Amino acid sequence: MSNSGLEFPAPVGGSHVAAVHDPFHGDLLEVSMGPHHPSTHGVFRMMVTLDGETIVKLKPVFGYLHRNHEKLGENTSYLASMPYTDRLDYLNSMTNNWAYALAVEKLAGQPVPERAEYLRVILAELTRLLNHVCLAGFLLQDTGASGTPLMYAFREREKILDLFESLSGSRMMCNYQRFGGCRVDASPEWLAGAKHITDNFGRFLDEYEELITGNEILMARTQGVGALSPELAISAGITGPMLRATGVDYDLRKVDAYGVYSRFNFRVPLGDHGDTYDRYMIRVLEMRESITILQQALRDLPAGPIMDPKAKIRGFRPKAGEAYGRIEGPKGEIGFYLISDGSPNPYRYRVRPPSFVNLTVLEDMCLGQTIADAVIILGSVDIVLGEVDR
Amino acid sequence: MTGLLIIALVTLVPAAVAMALRNVIHSALLLILSWAGIAAFYFWAGAEFLAFSQVLVYVGAISMVVLFAVLLTRHTRTDGGVAPDTLGRALAGLLIGGAVLGVLFGAVLSTPLPIGSKPAAAVTVHGLGVELMERHTIALLVVGVLLTVALLGAVVLAASDSRSGPEDAR
Amino acid sequence: METLEQIRDRLLARFPGAEVTLVTNPGAAAQHSLSLGLAHAAAMALFLRDDAELKLDYCSNVTGVDWPEKEIIESTKVSVPDPAGGPAKIVEQKTKRIQPGSLEVVYHLYSMAKKHGPVIIRLRTANRTDRANVPSLTPVWRSCEFQEREVFDLFGVKFDGHPDLRRILMWDEFTAHPMRKDYVEPDDYEWEPTPHGTVLDKAKAHYPPSALVAAAPAAPAHGAPTHAAPAPKEAPKP
Amino acid sequence: MNAMPGIFAAATGADSLLERWPILFRDTVAGFFPAPLQWLVGSLISILAIVAIFGGVFAALTLLERKMLGRVQNRPGPNRTGPFGLLQPIADGIKMLTKEDIVPRSADHLLHFLAPVALLAFSILTFAVIPFGRNLVPLELDAAVLYFFAAGAATELAIFMAGWASRNKFSLLAAMRALAQLISYELPLLLSFVPIIMLAGTLSMTGIIDQQAGWNFGFIPKWYIFTPWGFAAFAIFLVAALAESNRSPFDLPEAESELIAGHLTEYSGFKYALFFMAEYFGMIALSGMAITLFLGGWRAPLPFLEFIPSYLWFGAKLLGLLLLFIWIRGTFPRLRMDQLTRLAWKFLVPLALFNLGTAAFWSLTSGWSGPLQLARWGVAIALVVVPFVLLGRGLSRGVAPRTYRFA
Amino acid sequence: MLGSGLLQGLKVTAKNIAGSFHDPERLVTVEYPEQKTKLPENYRNFPFLVSENATDPMGTLRCVACQICEKECPPQCIYIEKSKDKKPDAAGKMQVYPAVFDIDTSVCMSCQICVEVCPFEAIKMDQVFEIATTDRFNALLLDRNQLAKPNSYYHQIHPTEAAEVDGRLLAERKAAEEKAKAAAAAAAAKAAAAAAAPKPVATPTATAGAPGAVAATVSVAKPATPPAAAPVSATPPAAAPAASPAQNAPASDGKAAP
C-alpha cells in the first residue's frame, strides 16, 4: 500500500548520487571509518565511498553500545532508572536526570519546591558550559591542533566536575535529581565556589576565542563545510545548537519555559549559514548566555526545602496515564515518554535522544566534501554514543 | 684515471641493467642512479656548479616526472620479454644499432682531444656568471623568458583550475 | 492552538472516510492523543504538517508501544427476573473477553513555526504477528527515518514506504524484537558470585545444584568465602 | 670575575683560542697521518663531529618538543624518566630498537629497506655546507647554496620509494599527497633565497655571511632580515620550510584525518625512528639555512657581544628557530590538501616572484642617501606589503569572522 | 589582514607557556602517586556497613537484614540472608542480624540508592578508590567482614554527615527511652492501683493498652526496673545533649580504625 503520491523530499545535498564507476576517475574506494577510529567520538562507524578525496556515499552504522536501556527501565522501579539515566549522555548526567525527573513529575503531577527548581537550573547551565567546552575542544582536535585547545577545554571542565563531585558525590555519574526535588542541598561554600567559577569562566572564554575564533586556518577548514538548510533541519527534527546554527529560533528554554527559566532574561544566538563554523560559534555564544543565567540564578537562589515533603522515594506508584517531558539539553531536545499502569515499574519507558536524531542528516552534510571534512562535520554534530545507542 | 673508470661504470652499468629489468619502477630508479653518475662525472671534472645543477634538476625534478608518468600508465609489470616478430625486423634493428655505434666512434676518434696533464682552469661561479652575462646574454635572456613564461603559465593554470576543475573542493 | 476535539473534527471533515478517535490520558499530564486509521494516516499527517493553522512541521519523537493480548474479565450487573415472581435479583455476571493485542506507534508533533504542541497521534497495527504494518511518515517528516527504523528493529512494526527499512541498533542477523513484552532473553548465562532472584533461577538451570550450594554457604560466620565456584574457566580454589 | 680578564682579553676577536680550536684540533690529529691521507682524516673528523653533535641535538629536540608542547598545554611534559625527563630520548631510543620491525610480505623488500636509509642520507648530506661557526665550515664550496638544495631535492625520491615499496594503496595515496606537498613548496623555498644570492653576489655560504657583517647606526646588524624584502623572503622561507619538513599546519601525510599514517604506515621499529630522525634533521638543516641566509650565520647581534664564540651564536639562533617551529606546532590546526596547494601556488609563489622585484629595486637604489634613504625604505616596504594584502584578500575571499543575531 | 588571527593564537599559547612556570592556574596537573588531590567530603565509591564500634564489628552491626536495599538496588548486587537467632542492638532491642551480607563490587555502580533507602543508617558510602585486584570473581565479592567498618571511620570520611546521623540516632533513642519510661511508669501506676484496690475484675495488665507499638519500646514483659545499664554503646551514659556537637566525638571506644 504505497503512499498516495508522496514524493520523498530530496535532501539538499542530493544524497542519492549514483556511485558510478567513472573510468577516468578510477574505481571508487569503499572505506570503513570506525568503529575503532581516533575521531569518531566513541564506537561509531561510517561506511564511506570515496571518489579520490570527495565523499560519494556515507552510511552511518551504530548499535555497538546498545544496552537496551529502555527494556531495563521497564523492568525496574522509577527510582532505579535514575542512576541509569547518567549513563545515557555520559557527559551531561545532570540534564539527563532533570529530563527524567521532569517527565515523571509531569506523569505523577508532583510539585517541586522553589530552591530545587533554581538548583536544577544552575546545574543544567553548568552542564551546558561543560558540554560546549568539550565540543569546542574535540572539534579543534579533529581539525588537527595537537591537543592544545582540548587541554584548555578540559582544564575548565575539571573545575565544573569538581563542583559536581563535591555536591553529588561523583564527577560524571551524579544521580542527583529525585522526583519532586534534589537529593543534597548546596552548602554556602559550594555556592561560593560555583560563583567563583562562573565569574571567571568568561575570562577563559575570551582567551579561548582569541586562540581559536579568529584563526584563519580554522575558518578556512570549517566555513562552508557541512552546510545545512533550515527547511531540512526542521524536517529532520534537528534540535539544539545545530538547529539554531541554521537560523531557526527554537530553544525549549524559551518555547516550553519549563522549570523557572521564564524568570531569567537571556538571549538565544542564531547563525545564518548552518555550517560547521556557525555550529562552533553558536555554542561559544551559548556559553556566554549560560554564564548570565548562572549569575542571575546564583544571585536570587531562595532558601527553603530542596525536596517536596510529600514526595515518596520508595514505593512510588504514579496513577495510570502517560506523559512526555522534554528539556533543552546541551545537545538538543532530550525527552522521556512514560506510560504508567499504576504498578511501581513503568509500562513503557522511552528516551528521545538528541544525538540519535541529529545524525539523520549526517550523509546530506558530508556529500561532496572531502574525507578530512567528514571528520569535522561529525565532530560538529556533537554526538555521544551512550545516548545514540541507548 | 681509476676515478674516471669508477664513475664511468656507475653511469653505464645501471643504464644497461635498467633496460633488462622487468619491473619498470626498478629500471626508473636505476636510470636515476645513472644520472647521479653523470653528476659525479662533472664533480670529477671540477665543474661543481654543473654537478649540483644536474643533481637538482635531474635527480630532484625530472625523476619525479618519470616516476609519475610510470605510475599514471599503471601497468608496471610487463609480463614476458618483447621478442622480435620476424627475422627481417631483427636484422633491421641490428643494422641501425651498428650504424649509430659507428657514427659515435667516428666522432670520438676524429676530434682532437687535448692530451696532457694540464688541469682545467678552476672556474668560479662568479666567473661562470660573468661569462654567461657577456658573451651569451641573448641566449640567457631567451631561456629566462621561456622559463618564466612556463612558470607563469603553470601558475595561471593552477589559478584557473579551481573554477573549472571538478576535483577541487569548493 | 486549537483543542484536540477541533482538530479531530477538521480531520473528519477533511477526510470523510477516515476514523479519528480521541484517546484520553487519565494521568496528571493530561496529554490526550488522536488515534488515526491506517488508511488515510499518511495523508492526514501531511495535512497536519501543511495546514496553515497547525503547521506541525517538527516530529519530535516516534515511539513503539506493545499491547499484548489481554484477558479482560468484565463483571456486569444484570437483573435476573426471579422465575418464582419474586423481586428481580441483581446478579454479577463475569464475561471473559480476549482483547486482541496490537503494536502501536506514537508520534509527538510540535510546530517550530508557531511554537505550539504537542499534538500526539497514534497508529495501531491490525495484530502483532502477520499484519503488523503501518504507513511510514518519513516522507512527511524526515526525522522519522531513524526513529521508525528503531521501532521496526525493537518492536517489529513494518513501515510501508520507508526509504531504507533496516535494523538500526541490533545486528542484521538478529531475528527477535527485544522490546516486545513477550520477548525471551537468550540463555547466555555468565557466572555470578552471588546469584539471587532471577539470576539464581538461571544459575540453577546452568549448574548442577551441588555447585550452587557450595556457591552460597549458609553458615553465618566464615572467613573469606572459598567458593568452590565451578566458574567455567577457573580451576576451583583450594 | 676579575681573576679572568686576562683570558677574556686574549679570547676576544676572530683569532682567539675559542675560535681557532677546531682548526688546531684537526691539524694536530691529521698530523699523525701521511700527507695524502690528511685531507681524508680531516673530513672524517668533521663527519663524525656532525653526526655526533646533531644526533645529540635530535635526541634533545624530541624531548624539548614534548616538554614545550606540555608547557603549552598546562602540563609539565615527560618528567618520569630521569630528572626533568632528561633520559626520555634514551628511553624512546630503546623502545624503537626493541620494537619488532614488521615488513609486509608483499612489500618490495629492497626498496622498503632503502627508503629510510636514502631519506636519512640525503638529509644528513645537507649538513655538509652549513657554516656552524667561524672556523666550523665542514666543506667550503663555491656553489654551497645550490648544493644544499640539490641534496635536499632527493628526499622526494625517498618518500616515493617508501610509499611505493609498502604495496599498500593508502600509503601510496598518502605518498603521492606528500610528494605534491613537497614539490609545490620546493618552488617558494628556492625563490625565497634567490634575492639574497642577487644581493650577496655569491652562492657560497661564507660569502653571504661576510656580506652580512658590520652594523648600521652602531647597533643594528646588517643582516638581511632587517631589510624589507629580506623580512618578506624570511617569512616565505619559514612557511615553505614548515611544509618541506611536514611540520604542524602542513603535517597532512601523518594526519589522523587522512586514512592512515601516510607513507609511514608499513614501517615500525627502528625504520620508523629513522624516518623521524630524517624529519628532524631536515628541520635542523632548514633552520641552519635560514640562519645563514637571513640571520647572519654565526655573527653576534651586537658589537660588544663579539667575545662569545661564533658557534654559540649559531646554536642560540638554531634553538630560537626550533622553539618557533614547536610553538607553531602547539597552536595551529591543520590545512586541507587543496588549501595547502592553493596556498603554495596562488600565494607564496607570486609573492616570492614579486619579492625579486623588490630586492632588485633595493639593490639598484643602494646609492641613495639622506632623505632619499627614507623614500627608499618607504617604497620597499610598500612593494612588500601591498602584494601581501592584495593576494591575502584574494586567498581568504569566502573566509571571515561572522557576526550573529540574537532571538 | 591575513595572519592576524594566527598571531593572536601564538600570543595566547605564549602566555600559557610563560604562565605555566609561575601561575598555578596554568599548570594544573598533579603528580598522582606522589601528590594526591584532596577528595571532597561528599565523594562516594563503594558502600560499607556501619558497626557501632571497632572492637566487635560483627556484634554491633547496625544492619537488621530488612533487605530493603537488596530490593531497591538497581543492578541487584546485594545479597542478604537473615540470621535465625536475634541479638541486642545499640538500643538493647533484640534484632535479627544479617548472616550473609555480600556486595558484588564488580556489579555495584556506587549510585548510593541503598544509603538513601536504608531506614537504619546501616550502610554508608566509602571513599576508598584504589581497590584494583587481579582476581575477577572472589576478590570483588566483599562479604560482611570486609564490608563492616566502625562508626569512628564513618566520622573520619564524612564528618558533617556522620555528626548529623549520630544526632538523629541519639534523638530517636532518647525518644524511644522516654516512651519506654512513660510506658513503664504507666504500667507501674496501673499495677499499683490494681494492688491497692483489689477489684473483682482483674483487668489484664496494660499489654493491650500500650499505645501504638513504637518500634523501639522496651518489651513490657521485662520487669519494670530501671533500664539495664546501657550496654557498652557508643552513646555516652550521661544524657548527652541531643545534638552532640561534631567535634566532641562519641565516647571512649577505640580510635583504632581498621
Mean of all residue pLDDT scores within chain B: 81
Surface-to-core class of residue A321, CB atoms within 10 Å of its CB (0-12 exposed, 13-18 middle, 19+ buried): buried
Which grid coordinates belong to D174? 598518502
**Angle at CA C144, nearest 5°, toward C138 and C150?**
120
| Residue count of chain A | 390
pLDDT of residue D174: 80
Give which of D147, D166, D198, D205 to mutate to test B binding, by max B Cβ within 10 Å. D147
In chain A, residues 339-368 whose CB comes closer than 8 Å to chain B: 368
Domain assignments of chain D as residue spans, ordered by start = 14-95, 99-346
pLDDT of residue D259: 59
Surface-to-core class of residue D106, CB atoms within 10 Å of its CB (0-12 exposed, 13-18 middle, 19+ buried): exposed
pTM above 0.80, yes or no: yes
Domain assignments of chain B as residue spans, ordered by start = 1-76, 121-159
CB-based contact (8 Å) between D259 and chain A? yes
Kindly list the residues of chain D whose beta carbon comes within 8 Å of any beta carbon in chain E: 68, 71-76, 79, 327-328, 330-332, 388-389, 392-393, 395-396, 401
**Chain B residue nearest residue D156, CA to CA:** B60
**What is d(CA A269, CA A357) in angstroms, rounded to the nearest whole number?**
22
Task: Give the residue-averaged pLDDT of D325-329.
Answer: 92
**What is d(CA D195, CA D198) in angstroms, rounded to the nearest whole number?**
5
CB-based contact (8 Å) between B65 and chain D? no
Which of A30 and B102 is assigned the larger pLDDT? Answer: B102
**What is d(CA A277, CA A227) in angstroms, rounded to the nearest whole number?**
9
Asked if A touches D (at least 3 Cβ pairs < 8 angstroms), the answer reads: yes
Chain B residue numbers touching A54 (CB-CB < 8 A):
167, 169
Task: Give the residue-averaged pLDDT of B90-114.
Answer: 88
**Eight-class DSSP state of D128:** G
Task: Give the residue-averaged pLDDT of D1-6.
Answer: 44
- Per residue in D212-249, pLDDT (tens digit) is 888 887 788 888 899 899 999 999 999 999 998 888 78
Asked if E touches D (at least 3 Cβ pairs < 8 angstroms), the answer reads: yes
Which grid coordinates belong to C115? 511554537
Phi, psi of C35 (to 5 degrees): -100, 120
In chain A, residues 56-85 whose CB comes closer than 8 Å to chain E: 76-77, 79-84
Phi-psi region of E76 (alpha: psi -120 to 50; beta: other; left: phi over 0): left
Q: How many CB atoms lie within 10 A of CB B104?
A: 10
ipTM: 0.82
Peptide bond between residue C118 and the one before it cis (omega within 30 degrees of 0)? yes
The neighbours of chain A, by the rule of 3 or more Cβ pairs under 8 Å, are B, C, D, E
Residue B97: is its pLDDT beyond 70? yes
Which of B13 and E230 is assigned the larger pLDDT? Answer: B13
**What is d(CA D169, CA A26) in angstroms, rounded to the nearest whole number?**
13
Percent with pLDDT over 90 in chain A: 65
Nearest CB among E4, E42, E116 relative to A214 is that of E4
Q: How many CB atoms lie within 10 A of CB A131?
A: 25
Say if residues C68 and C128 touch (Cβ distance below 8 Å).
yes
Asked if E touches C (at least 3 Cβ pairs < 8 angstroms), the answer reads: yes
Mean of all residue pLDDT scores within chain D: 87
Chain C residue numbers touching A239 (CB-CB < 8 A):
60
The answer to whether the Cβ–Cβ distance between B52 and D150 falls below 8 Å is: yes
Give which of D176, D338, D395 to mutate to test B binding, by max B Cβ within 10 Å. D338
- Per residue in A291-305, pLDDT (tens digit) is 999 999 999 999 999
CB-based contact (8 Å) between A53 and chain B? yes
**Eight-class DSSP state of D259:** S
Strands C116-124 and C33-36: parallel
**What is d(CA E183, CA A389) in angstroms, rounded to the nearest whole number?**
61
Nearest CB among E83, E104, E146 relative to C194 is that of E104
Chain C residue numbers touching E140 (CB-CB < 8 A):
193
pLDDT of residue B119: 63
**What is d(CA A165, CA A171) in angstroms, rounded to the nearest whole number?**
5
Nearest CB among A71, A106, A237 relative to C60 is that of A237
Distance (Å) of CA A236 to CA A62, A123, D158: 18, 29, 50
CB-based contact (8 Å) between B126 and chain D? yes
Phi, psi of A324 (to 5 degrees): -125, 110
Give which of A348, A351, A388 to mutate to test C binding, by max C Cβ within 10 Å. A348
**What is d(CA D23, CA D41) in angstroms, rounded to the nearest whole number?**
13
The neighbours of chain C, by the rule of 3 or more Cβ pairs under 8 Å, are A, E
At a CB cut-off of 8 Å and minimum separation 6, what does A220 contact? D335, D336, D339, D396, D399
CB-based contact (8 Å) between C196 and chain E? yes
Interface D–E counts its CB contacts (< 8 A) at 45
- Per residue in A148-195, pLDDT (tens digit) is 899 999 999 999 999 999 999 999 999 999 999 999 999 999 999 999
Distance (Å) of CA D238 to CA D188, D219, D231, D246: 10, 25, 10, 12
Residue D254: is its pLDDT beyond 80? no
pLDDT (tens digit, 0 to 9) for every residue of chain E, 258 residues total? 788 888 999 999 999 999 888 888 888 888 888 888 888 999 999 999 999 888 888 888 889 999 999 989 999 889 898 988 888 877 778 888 899 898 988 889 999 999 999 998 899 999 988 888 888 777 888 888 989 999 999 999 999 998 999 999 889 888 888 888 888 888 888 888 887 766 555 444 444 444 444 444 444 444 444 444 444 444 444 444 444 444 444 444 444 444
> Which CATH code for domain B1-76?
1.20.120.1200
Task: Give the residue-averaged pLDDT of C230-238.
Answer: 40
The answer to whether the Cβ–Cβ distance between E143 and C221 falls below 8 Å is: no
Which grid coordinates belong to A331? 545537545
CB-based contact (8 Å) between C228 and chain E? no
Kindly list the residues of chain E whose beta carbon comes within 8 Å of any beta carbon in chain D: 1-3, 5-6, 9-10, 12-14, 16-17, 20-21, 26-29, 31
Give which of A143, A279, A289 to mutate to test D binding, by max D Cβ within 10 Å. A143
Say if residues E114 and E72 touch (Cβ distance below 8 Å).
yes
**What is d(CA D330, CA C200) in angstroms, rounded to the nearest whole number?**
56
Say if residues D350 and B154 touch (Cβ distance below 8 Å).
no
In chain B, residues 2-61 whose CB comes closer than 8 Å to chain D: 25, 29, 32, 48-49, 52-53, 55-56, 59-61
CA distance C167 to chain E (A): 28
CB-based contact (8 Å) between D340 and chain B? no
Chain B residue numbers touching D111 (CB-CB < 8 A):
25, 29
The neighbours of chain B, by the rule of 3 or more Cβ pairs under 8 Å, are A, D
Nearest CB among E83, E141, E145 relative to C194 is that of E141
Q: How far apart are the first and last CA of chain E?
A: 68
The neighbours of chain D, by the rule of 3 or more Cβ pairs under 8 Å, are A, B, E
Residue D316: is its pLDDT beyond 50? yes
Burial per residue of C62-87, b for 16 or more beta-carbon CB atoms within 10 angstroms, e otherwise: bbbbbbeeeeeeeeeeeeeeeeeeee
Distance (Å) of CA B20 to CA A275, C11, D157: 57, 85, 22
Which grid coordinates belong to B165? 576543475
Residue B112: is its pLDDT beyond 50? yes
The answer to whether the Cβ–Cβ distance between E5 and A77 falls below 8 Å is: no
- Per residue in C46-79, pLDDT (tens digit) is 999 999 888 999 999 999 999 988 888 887 777 7
The answer to whether the Cβ–Cβ distance between A54 and B170 falls below 8 Å is: no
**What is d(CA E50, CA E152) in angstroms, rounded to the nearest whole number?**
9
Say if residues B84 and B32 touch (Cβ distance below 8 Å).
no
At residue D12 the predicted structure's pLDDT band, cuts being 50, 70 and 90, is low
The answer to whether the Cβ–Cβ distance between E42 and A184 falls below 8 Å is: yes
Asked if B touches C (at least 3 Cβ pairs < 8 angstroms), the answer reads: no
